[in-house]
């Protein structure tokens, strides 16, 4: 664990910072604590997993250069609509969040190469999943998936295109 009680404000003054891991902190309201994250315009990697977030802080959605976003092990029930602003994402981890439905917005990330959806309560996949043509890793393990024949064909399609699918 981490014993930080607050995120030091000076962190957000490192405008050339490209990686930031603020995972598994014991800060009661991390959403307020990262208000100045938008100063980090060069950030390409952000890990906010394990922070009891109930929603993704809107400031994160302004990090246009972000390539990797890890938001797993939080209490998210949905992703914000404007997550589609993160057009450069190549890796997204939303494991162990309690998702029951895969947000269709995820399928807008045409540059995704890694998508971790493990340890949720997903029952099905949206057809749009096959739009992720660059996907090389899709983790669907430990979900409640009951795939139809059509959904199995979508997974076969991803596998044939070089994606390693775990389910």
Torsion angle of C-alpha atoms 3, 9, 15, 20, degrees rounded to 10: 20
Per-residue model confidence (pLDDT) at position 28: 64
Q: What is the pLDDT of residue 149?
A: 93
**pLDDT for 3:** 66
Give the global pTM: 0.91
Q: Assign residue 132 a region: left if phi > 0, alpha if psi is -120 to 50, beta otherwise?
A: beta
User: Residue 63 and residue 70: Cα distance in Å, rounded?
Assistant: 13
Give the pLDDT score at 17. 96
Distance (Å, whole) CA 69 – CA 20? 10
Model pLDDT, residue 1: 53
Q: What is the mean pLDDT of each run of 10 residues along the chain (167 residues)?
A: 73 94 79 83 95 88 95 88 90 93 83 96 88 94 93 93 94
How far is residue 36's CA from residue 49's CA, in Å, rounded to a whole number?
Answer: 18
H helices present in the chain, as ranges: 30-33, 149-160
CA–CA separation, 156 and 56 (whole Å): 32
């Amino acid at each position: 664990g981490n014993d930080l009680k607050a995120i030091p404000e000076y962190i957000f003054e490192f405008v050339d910072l490209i990686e930031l891991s603020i995972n598994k902190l014991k800060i009661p309201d991390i959403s307020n604590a990262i208000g100045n994250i938008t100063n980090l315009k060069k950030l390409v990697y952000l890990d906010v997993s394990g922070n009891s977030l109930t929603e993704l802080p809107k400031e994160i959605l302004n990090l246009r250069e972000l390539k990797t976003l890890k938001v797993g092990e939080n209490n998210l029930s949905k992703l914000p609509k404007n997550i589609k602003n993160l057009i450069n994402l190549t890796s997204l981890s939303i494991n162990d969040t309690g998702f029951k439905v895969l947000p269709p917005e995820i399928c807008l990330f045409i540059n995704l190469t890694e998508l971790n959806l493990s340890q949720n309560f997903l029952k099905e996949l949206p057809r749009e999943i096959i739009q992720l043509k660059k996907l090389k890793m899709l983790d669907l393990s430990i979900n409640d998936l009951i795939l139809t024949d059509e959904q199995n064909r979508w997974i076969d399609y991803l596998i044939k295109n070089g994606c390693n699918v775990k389910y």
